[in-house]
Amino acid sequence: MSVVRAGADRGRAAASMSVGSCDVAQPTWTPANETESAMASALATGNSQAYFRALAGATLYLPALDEPGPQQLVTVRSGDDQYVLVFTSTEALASRLRGIPAFRTTTCAELLDKWPDPALMLAVDPETPIQAYAPIQVVADGAAGRVDLTPAVALPGGPVNALEAELDQAVRESDVDALIGALVSGVVLMPTDGERWAPAPEQTIAVFTSPERAAAAVPGGTPLAELAFLDIALDWPGIGWRLVVNPGESALEFTGAQVLGFVEWARHGVDAAGADLPAVAVAEALVQPLPVELAEAYLVGHRPDISGLVHRESDLTRVPMGGVTHVLHWIQHCAEVCLPVRVPDEAPAAWRLTAVQVPHGAKLEKVGDDGRRSWVAAYDADLSEWLPLPDPDRMREALRS
């Protein structure tokens, strides 16, 4: 096992660790003691040896269960690995493990001496900015300077859009909040097999931050779905599934638990993340491209609300139309229910809606295989129904006959 992931370290392995520090419950983490200050400082400056030295010399706090008999190590399973949980302060322990009545103190040396199973991994301060997941031996090796957490290339070839520029900068600066913020408010590309979700090997789901990176990694002709990253996180299949952003040399890898944590992060960070993004104007004309099954939910099921990614009507010519059979058009009167989504520079502005009421007069437009468009239905709020609109071609034919 060679997993070494350290706090805000840069690069591929480090990315998942930094993301673990998404700090849902404690958005303003601060070191609780000198050990944690030293670990944070070491990570900020990329000094791996200083990080492991601080850890090797630290008093570690082990969660203890208030039960009779010999104390057991508290472990958690993540994927194939079993981790022993340790913390570098009582504050870190209390913030992560509610309801743990007691703790014991130890050191890395003592732990190594009594380590019950070589396959067990060490989880230090999980989900804080100074977290580490590693085999216990790595601590001593790292303190001796034998573990080099070499920064990886952030993005080969450099960023090609605003999202990648933000990710690149966040990785280089080990800025965890910026990394998560850029991802969670971004739009990414997901290879599909015609469905939105393509089955993936080894319970891994891949997404890309630009068409260029997708083209370099997936076979030509693979359909790519453009999705709000937050939508992916919201629909995540579970903690057993891993996410890889830009598989390859510059991959960022996240555990399923981390992906699910992004949703919580977004709830806390939505104001900050969306602060510089455009709001919907008063009575703005918006559109939502729909695949046929969602269009039928309106036409047949008389669905009265709108969920998902939406755009300005004036941007419709720039919206990707793959798999789109209909376009929903309406006037959006309330901006507060439209959550801005960060998109690449060249992409049309986008917002995310959750069950927002369709106003009277909203219309559905059919997009033919030849690109020809025609209005097919309008929403009547009196009846709470979508009423068919006359087909102009059939009207003309009827007039001719």
Partner 1 sequence: MTLPNGYRALWDGIEYEASPDGELVRLYANEPAPGFDLVRSGRFRRLVLASDVDWLGYVRTTATVAGHDAVVLDERAGEALVEYHDPTGWAPGQGPDFGVRRVWLSAASLADRQEHRWPVR
In the bound state with partner 1, the residue whose beta carbon lies nearer, of 152 and 230, is 230
Phi-psi region at 174: left, alpha or beta (left = phi > 0; alpha = psi -120 to 50): left
Give the CA angle between residues 287, 292, 295 to the nearest 5°.
50
One residue of 322, 361, 390, 392 binding partner 1 per CB under 8 A: 361
CB of 239 to partner 1, least distance (A): 9
Residue type, 278: P
Q: Which of 25, 334, 387, 395 binds partner 1 (CB under 8 A)?
A: 334
Instruction: Determine the Cα–Cα distance for residues 90 and 96; give it in Å rounded to an integer.
Output: 10
Nearer Cβ to partner 1 (74/337): 337
Q: 43 vs 266, which CB is nearer to partner 1?
A: 266
- 191: which DSSP letter? E
Site string for partner 1, 174-193 (x = CB under 8 A): -------------------x
Q: Does 22 bind partner 1 (CB under 8 A)?
A: no
Q: Report d(CA 170, CA 172) in Å as an integer.
A: 5
DSSP codes of every residue in 301-348: T---EEEEEEEEGGGGGGS--TT--EEEEEEE--GGG-EEE---TTSP
**Does 55 engage in binding with partner 1 (CB under 8 A)?**
no
Per CB under 8 A, the segment of 11-19, 29-37, 176-184, 329-337 that binds partner 1 is 329-337
> According to CB under 8 A, which residues from 224 to 243 bind partner 1?
234-238
Give me the least distance between CB of 305 and partner 1, in Å please: 7
Please name every residue paired with 252 in a beta bridge, in sequence order, or none if there are none.
Answer: 245
Indicate whether 355 belongs to the interface with partner 1 (CB under 8 A). Answer: yes
Angle between helical axes of 176-184 and 162-172 (0-180°, round to 10): 160
CA distances from 328 to 290, 308, 319, 323, 355 (A): 7, 12, 13, 14, 14
Element counts in the chain: helices (H) and strands (E): 13, 20
| Residue 196 in the binding site for partner 1 (CB under 8 A) | yes
CA distance 149 to 46: 8
The span of 25-33, 99-107, 171-179, 302-310 binding partner 1 (CB under 8 A) equals: 302-310
* Helix H or strand E encompassing 265: helix 256-273
Q: Is 369 in the site for partner 1 (CB under 8 A)?
A: no
Among 98, 99, 276, 383, contact with partner 1 (rule: CB under 8 A): 383
Binding mask 259-288 for partner 1 (x = CB under 8 A): -x--x---x--------------xx-----
Q: What is the distance, to the nearest Å, from the Cα of residue 337 to the centroid of all Cα atoms in its chain? A: 21
198 binds partner 1 (CB under 8 A): yes
360 binding partner 1? (CB under 8 A): yes
Answer yes or no whether residue 336 interacts with partner 1 by CB under 8 A. Answer: yes
**Least CB distance to partner 1 at residue 160 (A):** 27
Considering the complex, state which of residue 237 and residue 320 has its C-beta at the smaller distance from partner 1: 237
| Residue 318 C-beta: closest distance to partner 1, Å | 21
Report which DSSP code applies to 72: P
Give 102 or 355: the residue with its C-beta nearer to partner 1. 355
Note whether 382 binds partner 1 by CB under 8 A.
yes
In the complex, the smallest distance separating the C-beta of residue 295 from partner 1, rounded to whole angstroms, is: 12
Does 396 sit near partner 1 (CB under 8 A)?
no
* 195 makes contact with partner 1 (CB under 8 A): yes
Q: Does 331 bind partner 1 (CB under 8 A)?
A: yes
Q: If you count them, how many residues does the chain have?
A: 401
Q: Name the β-bridge partners of 353.
A: 308
Q: Quick one: which of 50, 143, 244, 294 contacts partner 1 (CB under 8 A)?
A: 294
Q: Which residue has the tokens 């900020």?
A: 44
Give the Cα separation of 56 and 268 in Å (integer): 34
**Closest distance of CB 321 from partner 1, Å:** 15
Single out the residue of 137, 163, 172, 145 nearest to residue 9, CA to CA: 172
Q: CA 128 → CA 25, 26, 160, distances in Å?
A: 10, 9, 31
Q: Which amino acid is at 346?
A: E
Number of residues that bind partner 1 (CB under 8 A): 40
Instruction: List the one residue out of 161, 244, 175, 164 whose CA is nearest residue 205.
Output: 244
CA–chain centroid gap for 133, Å, is 20
Looking at residue 201, its amino acid is P
Residues of this chain that bind partner 1 (CB under 8 A) = 193, 195-200, 234-238, 260, 263, 267, 282-283, 291, 293-294, 305, 307-308, 331, 333-337, 354-357, 359-361, 381-384
